[in-house]
């Protein structure tokens, strides 16, 4: 099993390597790929040193699987070249997500749609992934009519530059800015660029990706995405209106029984999910589960997950695990 990691020096790429090692993914040959300036540098994996190679050299090796986290433009250029030599690409950028010919996969929700013919597979947006893991089992039982979500997203979702900005501001150091405004002691109600409809690209990703992953365009969804000065994971306040009424005890049981979910919902003891719980974990955490008293058949809950792991690297590795287990590569 030859595995390439494209974008291995970035935040998500480095976490991909960590997750591959932790989960003992069956690799016989690891191929590390980064930008030309990083070629020749050495990265350690399982106590062995690997030299970073160029994309051309990696393609020549014809890996079975290539995990991509190198940005949309790189993916648009290189993913088809890897696919042409028979590699199955799992791409973490937004490049292929809404391509009608490409599958958009969260393993707990829709891995069953994958086939051997899927050579470029899209990994969804981090904030979408953690939400649909919760929404999907509830949709199956009660049918979701509408979702209103507000996100509280970690600076790690922007990258190293944003983490540096936060830590610099916290220490009173001037430095390069990832955001237009200070992030320490502040929240920024903009993630990605604004579109013609006055929503941000991140907000519309959540709308469009959710419908595609869950295979239901009838779900109404509106989002407000916000950057906050934390690390460790993204948080989401989610309001869900169902077609059918529900029982809170049943909702909690469904979520408790869902693979990849951990229910933290004991308000008497102040137990609810926070980024500090999700940090470096692969599961999605859900709590503050309660009925919306302003409207019938409507539920409120709170979802937290590590955006670099389940929101990116772990989800990609889980797709790769599914492909291997089902002999699709």
CATH number, position 141: 3.30.360.10
158 lies in the same domain as 75? no
94 lies in the same domain as 150? no
Question: Is 139 a known active-site residue?
Answer: no
Q: Cβ distance 134 to 147 under 8 Å?
A: no
What pLDDT, on the 0 to 100 scale, is given for residue 153? Answer: 98
225 lies in the same domain as 164? yes
The backbone torsions φ and ψ at residue 127, rounded to the nearest 5 degrees and listed phi first, read -70, -25
Selecting among 8, 64, 139, 234, the annotated active-site residue is: 234
CA 179/CA 172 separation, integer angstroms: 16
Measured from the Cβ of residue 293, the count of other Cβ atoms closer than 10 Å reads 8
What pLDDT, on the 0 to 100 scale, is given for residue 282? Answer: 97
Q: Any idea what the CATH number is for the domain that residue 79 is in?
A: 3.40.50.720
185 lies in the same domain as 115? no
79 lies in the same domain as 150? no
Q: What residues does 300 pair with on adjacent strands?
A: 239, 290
What pLDDT, on the 0 to 100 scale, is given for residue 329? Answer: 95
Reported confidence tier of residue 306, pLDDT bands at 50, 70, 90: very high
The backbone torsions φ and ψ at residue 2, rounded to the nearest 5 degrees and listed phi first, read -90, 125
Q: Cβ distance 111 to 105 under 8 Å?
A: yes
CA 311/CA 301 separation, integer angstroms: 18
Reported confidence tier of residue 199, pLDDT bands at 50, 70, 90: very high
Reported confidence tier of residue 110, pLDDT bands at 50, 70, 90: very high
161 lies in the same domain as 238? yes
What is the Cα gyration radius of the chain?
20
151 lies in the same domain as 101? no
Residue percentage of the chain with pLDDT more than 70 = 100
- How many structural domains compose the chain? 2
Burial (0-12, 13-18, 19+ Cβ within 10 Å), 67: buried
Please indicate, yes or no, whether the overall pTM of this predicted structure exceeds 0.85: yes
CA 151/CA 307 separation, integer angstroms: 12
210 lies in the same domain as 298? yes
Give the domain extent around 86.
2-124+312-325
Q: How many residues are given for the chain?
A: 329
212 lies in the same domain as 143? yes
6 lies in the same domain as 47? yes
163 lies in the same domain as 177? yes
139 lies in the same domain as 236? yes
What does the block give as tokens for 122? Answer: 């899209």
Reported confidence tier of residue 223, pLDDT bands at 50, 70, 90: very high
What pLDDT, on the 0 to 100 scale, is given for residue 281? Answer: 97
Selecting among 64, 126, 139, 277, the annotated active-site residue is: 126
Per-residue pLDDT averaged across 33-42, rounded? Answer: 94
Question: Is 126 a known active-site residue?
Answer: yes
pLDDT tens across 51-82, in order?
999 999 999 999 999 999 998 999 999 999 99
Cα-based distances in Å from 157 to 114, 169, 192, 209, 226: 27, 18, 11, 17, 11
Give me the torsion for CA of 211, 216, 219, 223, rounded to 10°.
Answer: -10
Cα-based distances in Å from 189 to 131, 179, 186, 192, 227: 19, 11, 10, 10, 6
Reported confidence tier of residue 88, pLDDT bands at 50, 70, 90: very high
CA 145/CA 139 separation, integer angstroms: 9
């Amino acid at each position: 099993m030859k595995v390439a990691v494209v974008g291995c020096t970035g935040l998500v790429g480095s976490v991909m390597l960590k997750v591959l090692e932790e989960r003992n993914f069956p690799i016989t040959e690891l191929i590390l790929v980064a930008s030309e300036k990083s070629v020749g540098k050495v990265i350690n994996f399982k106590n062995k040193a690997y030299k970073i190679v160029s994309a051309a050299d990696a393609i020549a090796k014809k890996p079975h699987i290539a995990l991509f986290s190198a940005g949309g433009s790189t993916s648009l250029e290189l993913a088809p070249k890897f696919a042409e030599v028979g590699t199955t690409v799992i791409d973490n950028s937004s490049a292929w997500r809404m391509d009608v010919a490409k599958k958009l996969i969260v393993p707990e929700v829709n891995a069953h749609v994958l086939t051997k013919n899927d050579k470029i597979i899209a990994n969804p947006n981090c904030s979408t992934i953690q939400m649909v893991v919760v929404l999907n089992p509830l949709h199956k039982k009660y049918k979701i009519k509408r979702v209103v979500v507000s996100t509280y997203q970690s600076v790690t979702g922007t990258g190293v530059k944003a983490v540096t900005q936060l830590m610099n501001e916290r220490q009173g150091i001037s430095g390069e800015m990832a955001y237009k405004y200070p992030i320490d002691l502040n929240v920024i109600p903009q993630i990605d660029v604004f579109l013609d409809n006055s929503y941000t690209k991140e907000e519309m990703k959540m709308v469009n990706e959710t419908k595609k992953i869950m295979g239901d365009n009838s779900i109404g969804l509106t989002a407000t995405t916000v950057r906050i000065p934390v690390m460790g994971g993204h948080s989401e306040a989610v309001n869900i209106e169902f077609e059918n009424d529900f029982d809170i005890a049943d909702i909690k049981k469904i979520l408790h029984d869902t693979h990849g979910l951990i229910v933290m919902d004991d308000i008497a003891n102040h137990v609810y999910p926070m980024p500090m719980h999700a940090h470096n974990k692969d599961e999605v955490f859900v709590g503050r589960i309660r009925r919306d008293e302003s409207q019938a058949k409507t539920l409120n809950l709170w979802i937290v997950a590590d955006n670099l792991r389940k929101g990116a690297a772990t989800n990609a590795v889980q797709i790769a695990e599914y492909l291997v287990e089902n002999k699709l590569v």
